[in-house]
Amino acid sequence: MNIALPQDPLNAQQKEALRLREHERLTYRDIAARMGVTHYRIQQVLTTARARLEDCAAHGEEALSLLPKRVRNVLGWVDLASPAALRAAIASKRLAWYVSRMRLMLDGRSLRNVGWQSWQVMCVWAGLPRPEAPEVRDMRRFSYQANPSESARRTAIAELTASPVQKGRPSAR
């Protein structure tokens, strides 16, 4: 898989909405009618497009808007919004991919919803070499299989939840 950051921060819908607004001077309602969406959606699309263009104008190739949304969100949450800050966090091992856990870790804490591809994108954006994929582990280890002790535990839980004890008072038998 080739990880390459996009050179254009705008998608096709954003480009078309900007073209209609800026070059043809159409209103939001007219743009919405042409594109088959609501004028509220056009307002969102144009606001996002303008913010992305401003980000690219201010930061060039270091613009967060060039990254996928999930990566942008993670970098914002962990306050690593520049390639230099990200490189420093990786170099100091504050941020690292732990193969044993198959997770990205920051200061010893697991970052949820960040997969291998997001880690690769982060490394490329930080100007580091793209990391090689770890060896594939046997996924059968992670599949659920009931063992005898698990079955016994389930039976005990089922018996407890099926007992006629209610509100702390034993029933008369």
- For residue 26 the two structure tokens come to 């159409």
Check whether 12 has a pLDDT greater than 70.
yes
From-to residues of CATH 1.10.10 in the chain: 12-60
What pLDDT was estimated at residue 59?
78
pLDDT in tens, 36-50: 999 999 999 999 899
pLDDT in tens, 112-163: 878 888 999 999 899 898 888 776 654 443 333 344 455 555 555 555 555 4
List of residues 6+ apart from 97 with CB closer than 8 A: 103, 104, 105, 116, 119, 131, 134
Taking alpha carbons only, the member of 10, 75, 79 closest to residue 46 is 10
Check whether 75 has a pLDDT greater than 80.
yes
What pLDDT was estimated at residue 14?
93
65-102: burial string, b at 16+ Cβ within 10 Å, e else: bbbeeebbebbeebebeebeebbebbeeeebebeeeee
Query: Which CATH fold topology does 12-60 show?
Result: Arc Repressor Mutant, subunit A (1.10.10)
